[in-house]
Amino acid sequence: MRFSLLFAIICVWASQDVFGATSSTKTTAKSTTTKTTTTKTTKTTTITQSATSTCVATAYADIANVKKCSVITIQGPFTVPSNQVIDLTSLVTGAVVNFRGVITFAHGTLSKSNFLVTISGSSVTVDGTGSLLDGNGQLYWDGLGGNGGVPKPKMVKLSIKSGSVKNLHIVRAPVHCFSIGSSNLVVSGTTIDNRDPLDYLGHNTDAFDISSSTNVHVTGSTVHNQDDCLAAGNKSNNVTFSDTYCSGGH
């Protein structure tokens, strides 16, 4: 009996000396809980990063947050505030940009050195099926175009290396609809309507201005405007223009 009691006392003393007090055991339990929580947080972060590869902007304020996504949908209806632009420059390689719904640009004081929409990147696909981009050109048109009068921003600038732009529908560009400086780009199924009831105030509403470009093909489009349907030059080569209807300009 004395031997058993002495053995029990030695065991208790040894356990306290090696493992610490009871509170130390609780600390060990907390440490285990912390590790479990860390594991869960890591999994959640991974899921979030995966989800952000496809992004939807339903208001102008959302656009800056989706530029680095691989699939971007700009979903109208909404209005871009006065003197603000849609900046989709330096997109990730292989990005897909979808325009949907009506997107209206409020009247402002931006000049022709500005573009209401700018898109740049490599292997970029732009799809405007079901969209309408309204530049509110009738609020700018004064018969002088880019040669004077009130300041007028240009509509769309494309700086794309290998890609396609299809089915964009643009109405009332203040001045110059598409300004293209790209390579290996196909623009197809585009509708441009810059008609003015007075048939002369929308001066310089060129449909496609192409410069510093190589292997650009514009096809299957419809244009109603009051100036050039196509203007190509300035260090461009292998530009083709086919199956496109032009009316009101030259």
Q: What is the pLDDT along the chain (250 residues), one digit of tens a residue?
A: 433 333 333 333 334 443 343 333 343 334 444 444 444 433 332 223 333 599 999 999 999 999 999 999 999 999 999 999 999 999 999 999 999 999 999 999 999 999 999 999 999 999 999 999 999 999 999 999 999 999 999 999 999 999 999 999 999 999 999 999 999 999 999 999 998 776 678 889 999 999 999 999 999 999 999 899 999 988 999 999 999 999 988 7
HSE, side-chain direction, 13 A CA sphere, residue 9: 6
Q: Active-site residue 217, yes or no?
A: no
CA distance 216 to 238: 7
Whether 250 is catalytic is yes
> Which residues have CB under 8 Å from 250's CB, separation 6+?
227, 228, 229
Whether the Cβ atoms of residue 163 and residue 126 lie closer than 8 Å to each other: yes
Q: Are 208 and 181 in contact (CB under 8 A)?
A: no
Beta carbons of 225 and 165 less than 8 angstroms apart = no
- Which stretch of DSSP H or E encloses residue 199? none
Q: Where are the alpha helices (DSSP H) in the chain?
A: 2-19, 22-51
- Given the residues 206, 227, 228, 243, select the one marked as catalytic: 227
